[in-house]
Amino acid sequence: MRNLFIFLFISFGLYSCNHEKSVSFTINGQIEDVEDSTKLFLTYFTFNNGNWNERTDTTYVKNNKFYFKGSINDLTAAYLVLNHIGVTIYLEPVTMKLVIDKNDLYAYKLSGTNAEKESVELGRIVSANMKIHDQIADSINKIYNQIYLHNDDSTLVDSLMKIADQLRAEYTISAKKIDSIRLDFIEKHNTYQIVPHLVFLLARDNDIIHIDTVAAIYNNLPEQSKTTLLGKLALEQIKQAERSLNRKDLLAGDIAPDFTRVSMQGDTIRLSDYRGKSCILLDFWASWCGPCIKGMPDIKNINNEHNKKLKIIGISLDQSREKWLKAINEHQIGLWAQILSAYDNNYFGNERDLTEMYNIEIIPTYFFIDKQGKVIDIWHSIDKEELNEIDKILK
């Protein structure tokens, strides 16, 4: 699973290689008993110039009303968020009315779309499980916030990590239940408009249902479903998952793949330029990754102690440049080179993305590389053992 805390249940596509059609959608919303200026977020994909891009629109409640307007190509799944709770809704390029219950976002009422009756039918059987899933995810995030706040208390951190491990196990069990419900829904309602989006979700979380099974499900969809925007997105996600499974793991002793990126500081970073000069520590992280942020103080200490013999390169999986830069500033980690993993501004990776080149499955992941460009070791945390190894090599 690319990330435990990603809940972007969204979809996009294109009509043809030569023609992209965008039509405006409008949401007139209503929500009772909330303060003016309460924020709502709507996240969805756009497809432009051959790239899939994540877009998040923000609006504010005023007099118990809110408003969204944007451009989409066709029936599209979006993720609506209020007070850190999110729910999938299906948008069409029409004017829609959305009524929200602030105490139960899953009890929303959306009118003006043809696909909503399908979404309501799915919601009846999956919403209870989704609520439990959200609660577990929220608990995990809170635990990692506590770990970050009490990073200097090793006894408490160890205790909190045990709780986090237990919650992650519960999260996986919950995810399996939800995917089982989706799978059953697909089999019973193969022709529904929203089904390709459910296939996309199964492909995205392919460590639960194997991607070969998901690909077979996609192949059995009606041809009309495959040509929709949701269908095209599902296929793209399947292709990415298949590439991920076919990638070869980097091992200690392998030559670290070369790459070139421009850092947030404006410098050109080319890995091969450091050969014969210094060792390298690659830190794959993201602004939304609790364990990554927890490890930053150790990275700072390593940088302070070994900056003459070791070059650190932070490689972020963030899709949002704004969130990436904010995290760098907030955690004061601009002391070493910071770059983005993505080669271009495309949601789906390719062979030039550093996460694909280095076969990153979980974060944080650290690659310790010698002066000859060979991988010395690979870690997912930096503790005493790893610090001792760094000290031994660099002394």
How confident is the model over 181-203, as pLDDT tens digits? 999 999 999 999 999 999 999 99
Residue 98 · residue 90 · CB < 8 Å: no
> Which residue do the tokens 């709770």 mark?
85
Q: Does domain 260-394 have CATH number 3.40.30.10?
A: yes
What's residue 77's pLDDT? 94
**pLDDT (tens digit per residue) in 303-346:** 999 988 999 999 999 888 888 999 999 999 999 999 999 876 67
Residue 349 · residue 355 · CB < 8 Å: yes
Residue 366 · residue 341 · CB < 8 Å: no
Q: The tokens of 372 are what? A: 């000859």
Tell the burial category of 267 from Cβ atoms under 10 Å away from its Cβ (0-12, 13-18, 19+). exposed
What's residue 290's pLDDT? 84
Phi and psi, residue 198, nearest 5°: -65, -35
**pLDDT (tens digit per residue) in 276-298:** 999 999 999 999 888 899 889 99
Q: Which of the pair, 246 or 236, is modelled with greater confidence?
A: 236
What's residue 148's pLDDT? 72
What's residue 22's pLDDT? 54
What's residue 372's pLDDT? 93
CA distances to 134, 255, 316, 369 from 312, rounded to whole Å, are: 35, 17, 13, 10
